[in-house]
Structure 1
Amino acid sequence: MAADITFYTNPMSRGQIARWMLEEVGQPYEMIILDYGPAMKAADYLAINPMGKVPAIVHKGKVVTEAAAICAYLADAFPNAGLAPPLAERADYYRWMFFAAGPVEAAVSNKALGLSVPEGRERTIGYGSFDHMINALEQAVSGEQWICGDQFTAADVYAGSQVDWGLTFGTMPSRPAFEAYAARLRERPAYKRQKELDNALIAQMQRPA
């Protein structure tokens, strides 16, 4: 089957999130790997993503960038995969996907860079404080299954990637709710395929010439 999706990525990037979503969707895709040198800043790729970053997808001529947007787009583009709740039941889906893309991403990145919000200035930044963000995220994933109850969705791919990476790299505290949620995520066949594919590419890229 010919691929309608072109996937631009680097295995050592947030492209892992988009690949996991692609594997969940189960549609064929063409992969183009870009290095962190000239390839991402070349004119032909900047025409796709002016930020010169990965991931990006092109689906039937439509460009989507930003990992959270790619997850949401693919869930809607391929509804048979069942990765988005019915429209009337999307409150938690939107709430926590956007929370992960905004406050979680910002708070974790700032902490990793050694940046902190000055005392008394918490209201000037979207996540307030790292601890407030972590407590809220814990609430989102404390159920027995998924963010939207019994249905695994694109919100779990995106927010779940944040939790999975946070535990793996020590950028989030280990809490029972996070560990249990990550364990469920890691059992998904699409997650395992993504890790196998990207880890193989990473090993190949790191192999001496």
Structure 2
Amino acid sequence: MQATTGAPADWKPGDGSFYNVTCPGAPVAGGLMWSQNPPPGFGGAGPDLAALAEEAVTKMRLLGADVGIAPAPGSKGGSVGLPVWVWNQTSPRTTGPVSASATAMGVTVTATARVRNVRWDFGKGTSVNCPFPGKPYLTSYGAQAPDKGRGQCGFAGYTKTGEYTVNATTTWAVHWAGGGQQGDLTTTRDSAGVQIRIGEVQVVGQ
């Protein structure tokens, strides 16, 4: 917007207006300023609350899943027919809840984000959605497959040998409130792919 600190000398009623200019997240010099035309998005009714909610989400610096997986990357790998376990390491920025606020024109919007679910893509058209972080695999589980009913996440296993890339996409649910209003939005974050190796089951005979 083109603006000055005062109206031009030939100003007359109805010729432009004064605006108290503020920018969320950045200091603004000048304060009350005159402009021939209203600034973009100005409606005279206060700040854009949805935009403030988005700014609050940006401040959270949300991440995708902090991937835990068994068989572990770099190990000798798993075997055909054995289950693959996955989990999301718990922290505010990977699972939530995490909150942040943004303010403009004296109005503050506070948003809180929580993970709605993580979609795990195991390749070859195999994927699973888990609405919880999952639980780390323990050696005591042996060949036990993950059980969603127990908060575990993964799948029954690959049918062919090879190297597979496992990807995770996290969907965050965000609720915001402020300025006498509230609303909800979603945002997604991807994690870097993790490679695992699947081999044949080795049987030792007599």
Q: Give the TM-score normalised by structure 1.
A: 0.23
Considering fraction of residues, name the structure with more helix.
1
- TM-score (norm: length of structure 2): 0.23
